[in-house]
Amino acid sequence: MCSGDSGAVNQDHSPNPVGVACTMAHEMGHNLGMDHDDKDVQGCYCPMSRDSGGCIMAATFGSVFPRRFSHCSRANLETFVEKPYITCLANAPDLDRLVGGPVCGNGFVERGEQCDCGQPQDCQNHCCNATTCRLVEGAECAHGTCCHECRVKPAGTLCRAAKSVCDLEDYCDGRQPACPEDAFQENGTPCLGGYCYNGACPTLAQRCQDLWGPGTRAAVETCYSYSLSSDCKGQVPLGSRRVNRCGVLFCEGGQKPPEQRSCTLTSFSATCQALVLSGGPGYEPVPEGTRCGEKRVCWKGLCEDFQVYRDVNCSSRCNGHGVCNHKRQCHCQPGWAPPYCTELVADIRTASESLPMGVLVPVLLLGVLVLAVAGVVIYRKARRPPWWRNVVPKAAMGRSNPLFHEGNSVPATGRTPAYTVGPPEPVPTMHAIHPSQPPRSTAAAVTPKRPPPAPPVAMSSPPFPVPMYTQQAPAQLRPAPPTKPLPELKPRQVVKPSSAPPIPPVKPKAGMANPGPTQGAAGPKVALKPPMQRT
């Protein structure tokens, strides 16, 4: 098992599916180290009678097929799985590489599933919905050593006992339904006849018994001073007669495994037996980590000091609440949390549970508030037109005639309106005109700081709207004359006097404002003329 040549093909021609299953179980029992049930073997007991089918590992089957294993078959299996060279059986299949992809009901918890208890008619797990492969309402788990009655067991609950002096007890962490990875004593920890290495206590005697069977012992020291040729012919003694306890494994006694070849060296003082490797040339070596001296172990074929384990006595980092395991990590006592066993599991769990209430909620509220403010700002900016859309062009110097701009402001809309030609709008707002009263203007009087521009020539054609002029260069004091005729303006041109004359009134017309000097004046308005000097 677990070697390069391991493999088996089982075949049965029985039309009865139960018979095929019994044959497969029997043959696979041989693959797993089980022998045929023998009444002469002490302790081999089959709980089923021959008429009831007997046990699966019986030498022959009757008309009734067996359904149970004998006590000796169970003992053989327990012995087999404890051997160090069958570690491949502990490798769980990669659930992402199963043929056909995830399937609910195949018994494997695959990607997208919370549980899988088989087909609905076979499911006996009340924590799992066999139809959907999801946990039932209120359940925390459905499978695992640390799962009990759909709840994860408390932290510190034993989930895997120590199997040997080189093994460590494993405890539930209070969060996962599965028992944590199996942890072992720190490599180099003293054990029976050797030092612990990856959970085992490798010795020459134990390895010889694993390969050659009970009654085998390690060969005498003389055998380890010889080397073997690749074809197992002759012996080639080492020139210095140096003992190499980390090279080829030499044993004495026992029975050769039937699937392997062996090479035996016999001398007047000892018999040295070596097994040929199944996968290729060479001989069965001394296991890694085997004791070869005081505080020395076999490492890559050589006898080395403990320093090859890199970190000796790393348990000092565990603060007295744990020991270092084979991975040079602290294996904490029940109730203490890794990585250095300085905090209690209950304190960490309480802190993690209080985090959402004390920190997470304020952070979420603050984040929502920031997003809301940002959304309002962005919305207002999207609705507001650009700043240049509401700007009224200015003249180069001074103030232009208000009649050119009033009533023609650009509306504040999302798009800039196209300039069109049309009749001008009245500038001031007039009150209702009574027949017996002169019209009153509500527009404020405008006092120009510079002379007004020259009036346009009156035309009989329909009036046109006043175009918007762009800003002139500073050197040009007045805007350029219009290229198109403008509507007739009501104010008349006044000859510039030598002295500052009063503002002349303009004779109003129907629907137009009267820019008189005062709003409360009554009677007919007469245009004033500047005084003339007589010579």
> Which residues sit opposite 128 in a β-bridge?
135
Residue 285 — left, alpha, or beta (φ > 0 → left; ψ -120 to 50 → alpha)?
A: beta
The one catalytic residue among 27, 110, 169, 406: 27
**E strand segments, 70-210:** 128-129, 134-135, 147-148, 151-152, 158-160, 170-171, 190-191, 194-195
Q: What are the angstrom distances between the C-alpha of 181 and each of 136, 171, 392, 459?
A: 27, 10, 79, 103
Catalytic residue check, 137: no
Q: What does the alpha-carbon distance between residue 276 and residue 279 come to, in Å, rounded to a whole number?
A: 9
Q: What does the alpha-carbon distance between residue 27 and residue 64 come to, in Å, rounded to a whole number?
A: 18
Q: What does the alpha-carbon distance between residue 489 and residue 227 come to, in Å, rounded to a whole number?
A: 128
Q: Is 126 annotated as a binding residue?
A: no
Secondary structure of the chain: what % helix, strand, coil (to 5)?
20, 15, 70
429 in helix, strand or coil? coil
Q: What does the alpha-carbon distance between residue 510 and residue 438 come to, in Å, rounded to a whole number?
A: 11
Q: What does the alpha-carbon distance between residue 428 and residue 178 come to, in Å, rounded to a whole number?
A: 89
Q: Is 30 annotated as a binding residue?
A: yes
Which pair of tokens denotes residue 443?
Answer: 């527009």
List, as one string, the DSSP characters of 363-384. HHHHHHHHHHHHHHHHHHHHHS
Q: What does the alpha-carbon distance between residue 352 and residue 356 come to, in Å, rounded to a whole number?
A: 8
Strand arrangement of the beta sheet that strand 291-293 belongs to: 291-293, 296-299, 302-305
Q: What does the alpha-carbon distance between residue 275 and residue 85 come to, in Å, rounded to a whole number?
A: 15
16: Cα separation from own chain's centroid: 50
Q: What does the alpha-carbon distance between residue 276 and residue 519 come to, in Å, rounded to a whole number?
A: 129
- The dihedrals phi and psi of 273, each to the nearest 5 degrees, come to -110, 135
Q: Is 13 annotated as a binding residue?
A: no
Which pair of tokens denotes residue 405?
Answer: 């701009």
Whether the bond into 362 is cis, omega within 30 of 0: no
Q: What does the alpha-carbon distance between residue 482 and residue 469 come to, in Å, rounded to a whole number?
A: 9
Contacts of 515 (CB under 8 A, 6+ apart): 441, 443, 445, 491, 503, 505, 506
Which pair of tokens denotes residue 85?
Answer: 């060279």
Which pair of tokens denotes residue 105?
Answer: 């009901």
Catalytic residues: 27
Binding positions for Zn(2+) are 26, 30, 36
Q: Which residues are known binding-site members?
A: 26, 30, 36
